[in-house]
Amino acid sequence: MFKNVFGSGFLVRTAHVILTWVITLILFLHDTDLRKQEETGQFVQPVCFVLLVLVSVLLYFAVSLMDPGFILSDDSDLQLTLGVTEEQQDMIPPPTKSLRQRRCGHCLLQQPMRSKHCQTCQHCVRRYDHHCPWIENCVGERNHRWFVLYLAVQLLALLWGLHISWTGFSYASTWQLWLRTNGVLLAVATLVALLLLIVLLLLGSHLYLVSLNTTTWEFMSRHRISYLKHCGADENPFDRGTLHNLWSFFCVWGTVVWEQVYFREDSSQV
């Protein structure tokens, strides 16, 4: 389930963890609400904040080290085992004749629908979304929901951290003195605000795409994808309604045979 911790992303993961705990430490060392509550024996909020940061770090490692859905062997019998027969594939209208599973030109394995080969990971990934340099791993079928959950927890931690840093700014008579007194905290607040904006945009875009049952790769490259090229600009053969899409994404576990979903949608249009 998990890859080697000391793989190619070791430096990225180490930098993320160090940055996270350095920022947390700075928020405790400066005259913020966290430090004031700690000094007065009120430990509820400081402990909750540390636990939230810890959960975000654990989720980061889970998403970063988790198998995103690598295809490691041929699934030549998958469509027969799970209900998509060759006879059904032959009934698909002419524009979709190229939808038969094709072999990847890099790893030479058959690619199920919605999978793609990642040049960085050197594997084909089921329901490929994108390769994220932040986690140094692909986001795919197995870890996509955990990636969205991680973004949500990270957003809460950053929002709270930005609020805490704001409470630590102290008054000074001149700008020069103010910068000397609050320079480190200002740098932390600026960095947290920048990260907050990035995470907010990422979370919003992923929730939007999930609600449509599409992926980042499909959204950006649909004109080059064989099973989407013939579809209209607003047509998505995998969309089963916003609530159904969200429920399936967050609450339904296991491998989905997207050929079945595609075939049923295509049949309803014939």
What is the full DSSP assignment across 89-141? HHHS-GGGGGGS-EE-TTT--EE-TT-EEETTTTEEETT--EEETTTTEEE-T
Closest listed residue to residue 79, CA positions, set 71, 87, 67, 69? 87
Cα–Cα distance between 9 and 137 in angstroms, integer?
Answer: 8
Cα–Cα distance between 30 and 182 in angstroms, integer?
Answer: 9
Domain contains 243: yes
Q: Among 18-27, 69-78, 148-157, 161-170, which stretch is predicted with the lowest mean pLDDT?
A: 69-78
Domain contains 182: yes
Cα–Cα distance between 147 and 130 in angstroms, integer?
Answer: 11
Q: Strands 123-125, 70-71: parallel, antiparallel or unpaired by DSSP?
A: antiparallel
Give the pLDDT of residue 83.
46
Range of the domain at 251: 8-67+134-262
Whole-number Cα distances in Å, 215 to 194, 219, 222: 25, 6, 10
Q: What's the whole-model pTM score?
A: 0.84
Instruction: Count how many domains the chain has.
Output: 1
Length reported for the chain: 270
Catalytic, 132? Answer: yes
Domain contains 114: no
Q: Say which of 118, 124, 132, 138 is annotated catalytic.
A: 132
Q: Rg (Cα) of the chain, in Å, rounded?
A: 23
Domain contains 245: yes
- pLDDT tens, 156-168? 999 999 999 999 9
Domain contains 164: yes
- pLDDT tens, 73-95? 875 445 434 444 444 444 444 44
What mean pLDDT do residues 97-117 have? 77
